[in-house]
Amino acid sequence: MCIIYIAWLRLINCDTPTKGRKRSQSSLGLPTSSQLKRSKRSSPAERRPSSIDDLPDTALVEILCRLPSSKFVFQCQCVSKRWRTLISDPYFIGRFVHIQGYRKTPKMCTLISQKGEEFPPKMPWSSKLLTPVFKQIMSFHSLRKKPVVVATYNDLVLCCATEDYQRNYYICNAYTMQWVALPPTPGRCHDRVLVGFICDIPYYNSKKEDWKGHNVQLNAKCVCNVVRILPPDESANDEKCDSLKLSVEIFSSETGEWRESVVASPRYFDFDDLEDISFAYNGMLYWTSDEDLLFVGLGPFNDNNTTTSSSSSGNGDGVIDHKLHFTVFEEPLNGRFVVEYLGMFGGCVRMCDFKEATKTLYVWEFKEQDHDRMVDGAAGRLCLTNHRVYQLDPKMYPDGPFTCEMQAFDPNNKDILYLRLDGDIIKCNIHTKKWSRIVRRCPVRNGDYWPVELPWWPTPVPRLPQHAHGGGTSS
């Protein structure tokens, strides 16, 4: 209760936005003067609350809204049925986000590995972000192995029961411990598929309105889409052709069903060259290649009418979707570069290459804007905006039989790069060239890392139609 007492002190100090002293109590959700006058007619015993449960709903909401993060708010749901009802109310969520916006509370991000481990690892190493929710899924579905992470979107994580031959997927939120199982995929299993995860709109919009603070609008109709691009049929595509058609399976949380279609690409690209990790950007899903600066986009997924524009292909191999389409951007590089996707920062996509021998970092940044060298995408135009070269401290590690590999950029600081040096993790500032060895013998294995954001209010897992549950869901 100590943290709630601190929140009560914040309420007394009135840390909400004001314009002079003219903010009304009703705009803050507090009792108005007329309500206070009516309450004065009650007896002294009735006016003096003996415990926090005696406070009116308006006062209790204002106290709970001043807790430092939604993590503490969710813990308070266990206090009583009344508290759970108040916290679950849309007014409370909007009020809480409003106050976080006024305080300019930063939205923190972390990185997770395929096994759900945080990177860089935190002490104790045995505590993993997704371990509790993974245990729930394993217990409910009698899985022998932990699920693996295949994609993320904000604070929602898409995981699968198996790494190869994927069929059973789950959407979960590590912060709220909620999860939902999707129906099994309709087609036959493939050794490798490209998987993406995207929502059409954010769960809430927070718009700043001058001195009034943030106007918060909840989006109850947020739709999640899970996308699977299947390997190409060699008999239906010829490498000599300029175009390409691929089978795509899309699950929508709105319908609770998978649908199969065929999506055409105006340019041919090699499916096997694309990396497994995907990222969402302005309503599109993208996959990259380490051969060149190659982006393959699929979308848009921010159009509610996407599922209504399909027609028979005429050749019996599926349904061609005329709303979704592939876009391809390629910037050829010479053989000296092997680029990797290392995240998004400030609305820019970063591709990087690190030369171990010279300790040189090459960074390419892409953004949607008007430019001559671009490909028209459904959500905008993707083009190369910056190419920078950073010379890191030559004393960062001595010359010798060492293996130094790029790991990731810090999702909260675009200047911080993590490198792995023979199992140890080095934290390096690419601008100041300052570096430090932060983890020795890192327990998190080398591989891809997905960003997970902790927003002001966590995104609930989608509520699927009753017929669509893939065998289970959390409460």
- For 258-271, what is the mean pLDDT? 89
Phi first, then psi, for residue 9 (nearest 5°) are -65, -35
Select from 103, 136, 160 the last residue of a domain.
103
Residues 190 and 274 in one domain: yes
Residues 65 and 180 in one domain: no
Amino acid, single-letter form, for residue 171: I
DSSP H or E stretch at residue 97? helix 90-103
Residues 145 and 13 in one domain: no
- Cα–Cα dist 307/291, whole Å: 33
Residues 163 and 310 in one domain: yes
Residues 149 and 42 in one domain: no
Is 334 domain-assigned?
Answer: yes
**Whole-model pTM above 0.85?**
no
CB-facing half-sphere around the CA of 26: CA atoms within 13 A = 4
Phi first, then psi, for residue 331 (nearest 5°) are -120, 100
The residue among 288, 303, 404, 263 whose CA lies nearest residue 340 is 288
Instruction: Tell which wins on pLDDT, 35 or 430.
Output: 430
**Whole-number percent of the chain with pLDDT over 70:** 74
Is 475 domain-assigned?
Answer: no
Is 473 domain-assigned?
Answer: no
Token pair belonging to 226: 């899970």
> What's the mean per-residue pLDDT of the chain?
79
* Residues 226 and 462: beta-carbon distance below 8 Å: no
Tell me which DSSP letter residue 322 carries: S
Ranges 109-118, 215-224, 281-290: which has the least confidence? 215-224
Ranges 300-304, 416-420, 454-458: which has the least confidence? 300-304
Please, is 9 exposed, middle or buried when counting C-beta atoms within 10 Å of its C-beta (0-12, 13-18, 19+)?
exposed
DSSP string of 380-414, one letter each residue? EEEEEEEEEEEE--TTSS-SSS--EEEEEE-TT-T
Residues 53 and 161 in one domain: no
Residues 330 and 460 in one domain: yes
Residues 214 and 257 in one domain: yes
The string over 234-268, giving b where at least 16 C-beta atoms fall within 10 Å of a residue's C-beta and e elsewhere, is eeebeeeeeebbbbbbbbbbbebbbebbbbebeeb
Structural domain that includes position 365: 108-468
The residue among 330, 316, 292, 321 whose CA lies nearest residue 233 is 316
Instruction: Tell which wins on pLDDT, 403 or 297.
Output: 297
Residues 11 and 85 in one domain: yes
Is 30 domain-assigned?
Answer: yes
Is 6 domain-assigned?
Answer: yes
Residues 217 and 300 in one domain: yes
pLDDT (tens digit per residue) in 58-90: 999 999 999 988 888 988 988 999 999 999 888
* Residues 107 and 459: beta-carbon distance below 8 Å: no
Q: What's the CATH code of the domain at 112? A: 2.120.10
Centre a 10 Å sphere on the Cβ of residue 165 and count the other Cβ atoms it contains.
13
Residue 120 confidence class, pLDDT cut points 50, 70, 90: confident
* Residues 129 and 114: beta-carbon distance below 8 Å: no
pLDDT (tens digit per residue) in 1-18: 555 655 554 554 555 444
Residues 316 and 178 in one domain: yes
Select from 103, 137, 155 the last residue of a domain.
103
Strand order across the beta sheet in which 156-160 lies: 148-153, 156-160, 169-173, 178-181
Q: What pLDDT is stored for residue 389 in this prediction? A: 94
Centre a 10 Å sphere on the Cβ of residue 7 and count the other Cβ atoms it contains.
19
If one counts the domains in the chain, the total is 2
Is 230 domain-assigned?
Answer: yes
Is 344 domain-assigned?
Answer: yes
Select from 58, 77, 103 the last residue of a domain.
103
DSSP H or E stretch at residue 9? helix 2-13
H-type alpha helices, 108-238: 131-141
Sign of torsion over alpha carbons 72, 74, 77, 83: positive
Is 251 domain-assigned?
Answer: yes
pLDDT (tens digit per residue) in 314-342: 333 556 666 788 888 888 887 788 888 98
CB-facing half-sphere around the CA of 335: CA atoms within 13 A = 0
In 301-421, which ranges are E strands? 310-312, 319-321, 325-331, 340-345, 348-355, 360-368, 374-377, 380-391, 404-409, 416-421
Residues 98 and 144 in one domain: no
Name, in order, each residue with C-beta under 8 angstroms of 113's C-beta and a sequence gap of 6 or more. 119, 149, 444, 445, 447, 448, 449
